[in-house]
Structure 1
């Protein structure tokens, strides 16, 4: 039996998360257009390989996971790559945080095995593979030959479109002035925009009112980076614990 909510307040039922890794859900602007164009034609990747690179919170993981989900590819994590890693067979494979691979020999084994199988490989990291500090000559030559496409932080227009879309998905009407106020204070990355929309949606339902600046200020005060200046708002992506091991 569901208890009635107190007068003046609505009962909030748990909802499934809206966010999913879907390549088609990504909006395009100058920051990611080249990368998305490459991801739409993986059969044309030179030697069947491609690397995505860029700063934290630019959508690398979303793109990699989105393509993998659409194509039925498994996804591995670089920090877990050790020894002779078990590489699932299939038409392709994604490796996130590839520049943080635990062992260089494990990454070399993965690339060689996928090449033998004709298995496509998509890597994601913070720098282009040619710039990774790699000691193994064979791995270094493979990484330097790999095509790489950069992703930049989202521009103002893309962030505004993401915020409008997140509100629209939740059927939450927010005045343009409030949206502009939010965009000036939110961290400049899609995940923070989506999290802010989710928090504001829950708060507006609980209060039975609309989203105002006062409500947003109280609800988002604990959101990391909210209200900070541009320099401190950038989300830090932790460094790898050191150069990959050769063992």
Structure 2
């Protein structure tokens, strides 16, 4: 835990981070299974990923707002099944063709995970991916911010494939999970925040996972720039456009 919270990161508390030199390295998110913050909002997705029920046509899509854990779940599943991890915005027809022509490094493709699938701009590439994985019996897990049936695609065949894709929603976590998420995000970045300031933030930040991620990112930058632990005044400056008055935080 950060400050007074005793949450551990790599089995070392971050309480001793005060006074340490903080270098401006880019933060790399951690996607190990033990780093995932479980919540009822992701229970259905976890059941489909870990349970014995086969996916229709071996294809499944997870969808939900940014920050709700889709990428983390895709990374966990990909690690578990030795799947290739692809990015929707980078997908091209040539890329897909190469995957199934030679496999990955000469090895046959056994499973695929496509993050940001709704960001794919090459519709023929996505259609080719869906068709080939179905024909070859390759498991395909996709992630997007909306259900596949609502992705704005022009190709009729692609729209038909997406409507036939099993889709599982991931909702926003509850307040208790958001608390754990914020503490874990702060601990990952080794940001020193006292318990009173953590409580103050939780009363004022929007009730979304994305807000917790953005708050941790901004606090990290602000603390590095100031060279001090995060105080309430520093947090108020760094998060001025995100915070609302105590007790009237809107539901989102």
Q: Give me the TM-score of the superposition, normalised by structure 1.
A: 0.72
Could you say if the C-alpha distance between residues 12 and 42 of structure 1 is closer, same or farther in structure 2, counting changes exceeding 3 Å? farther
Residue correspondences, number: 218
Alignment partner, residue 174 of structure 1: 194
Aligned to 2:126: 107
Cα pair 1:23 1:67 within 8 Å, conserved: no
Instruction: Supply the distance in 1 between the matched residues of 2:185 and 2:149 (Cα, whole angstroms).
Output: 37
Q: How many Å separate the matches in 2 of 1:42 and 1:199?
A: 44
8 Å CA contact 2:191–2:230 kept in 1: the answer is no
2:142 paired with 1:126: no
Partner of 1:238: none
For residue 154 of structure 1, the aligned residue among 173, 177, 182 is 173
Q: Which runs of 5+ in 2 are unaligned?
A: 1-17
Alpha-carbon separation, structure 1, partners of 2:170 and 2:48? 12
Whether contact under 8 Å (2:185, 2:213) holds in the other structure is: no
In the alignment, the residues of structure 2 paired with residue 42 and residue 103 of structure 1 have an alpha-carbon distance, to the nearest angstrom, of: 33
Query: In 1, Cα distance between the equivalents of 2:139 and 2:58?
Result: 5
| 2:54 aligned to which of 33, 44, 49 | 44
Cα RMSD of the aligned pairs, angstroms, is: 3.3
Distance 1:42 1:80 in 2: 32
* Rounded Cα–Cα distance in structure 2 between residues aligned with 1:45 and 1:69: 18
Does 1:57 pair with 2:67? yes
| 1:28-65 CA-partner distances (Å, limit 9, x unpaired) | 22221211222224873222110011122322222223
SS in 2 for 1:149: strand
Give 3-state SS (helix, strand or coil) of 2:93's partner: coil
Deviation at residue 167 of structure 1 after TM alignment:
4.6
**Alignment TM-score, normalising by the size of structure 2:** 0.71
